Structure 1
């Protein structure tokens, strides 16, 4: 006998994944989620839950909604997920390059700020010593 498919309300899904119902509705408005309806109530399947997990992971890693949408579309088009994984690998490589450049930029900014702070402190020390 087959198990009935687990359905989630928006509140259950939000609580389980630690997001707000508003965030879920936002992803719906952007076409990333398409819940079913039971009367006036949105109901989400296990598949919707999985998509939301991927969306949240993509956002946390800094991917745009456009990039996430493309990746989800590939998932639908390629059941073997080969194309999706290749595209994801390229996006990850791009994101790594971006973050590594940001890291270099941040380190340079920190060095410059420390240098300026040292100069300011030296100037203040000279003024208070005189």
Structure 2
């Protein structure tokens, strides 16, 4: 039974990320390809790990949070700890986004007020004459 492997260019193409990004995740210790001379050989697990990192980043997780979730994976004991941790992180991220939405709405109100005051002040200000001496 042969195990699926990937070159760095295969993963780059399939996951639509740069080879530089893949090397960065390798430097961070998140993936560890085999080496055949200078060639990196990535496993199916490396590919899954990269997919998890990319998904985590899309929903706003830090690289440290992604690492924590990846490290919780236990193929023998199932994903119970990993999934529970993910749910906690999702709830935390959702709360952060809700606060950001409230902050943005407040900023909109502040901008509306500032605009209205500027427009009122401008309307009350005499216009400069167009004539020149």
Within 5 Å, which residues of 2 pair with 1:75-86?
75-76=73-74, 79-86=77-84
The structure-2 alpha-carbon separation of the partners of 1:76 and 1:41, relative to structure 1 and needing over 3 Å to count, comes to farther
Q: Which has the larger helix fraction?
A: 1
**Corresponding position of 1:56:** 54
Range moving further from structure 2, 23-32 or 114-123? 114-123
Ranges in structure 2 where 5+ consecutive residues have no aligned partner: 129-133
Aligned length: 128
Give the C-alpha shift of residue 78 in structure 1. Answer: 5.6
Which structure has the larger Rg over C-alpha atoms?
A: 2
**Corresponding position of 1:46:** 44
Report if the CA contact (8 A) 1:35-1:42 is conserved.
yes
Per-residue CA deviation, residues 94-119 of structure 1 (Å, 9 max, x unaligned), is 11111111111111111111221122
* TM-score normalised per structure 1: 0.89
Per-residue CA deviation, residues 50-104 of structure 1 (Å, 9 max, x unaligned), is 1100001111111111111111111147641011111111111111111111111
| Residue 23 (str. 1) matches residue 42 (str. 2) | no
Within 5 Å, which residues of 2 pair with 1:80-119?
80-119=78-117
Range moving further from structure 2, 120-129 or 28-37? 120-129
Give the C-alpha shift of residue 120 in structure 1. Answer: 1.5
Give the C-alpha shift of residue 31 in structure 1. Answer: 1.0
* TM-score normalised per structure 2: 0.87
Ranges in structure 1 where 5+ consecutive residues have no aligned partner: none
Distance 2:11 2:20 in 1: 12
Cα RMSD (Å) of the superposition? 1.8
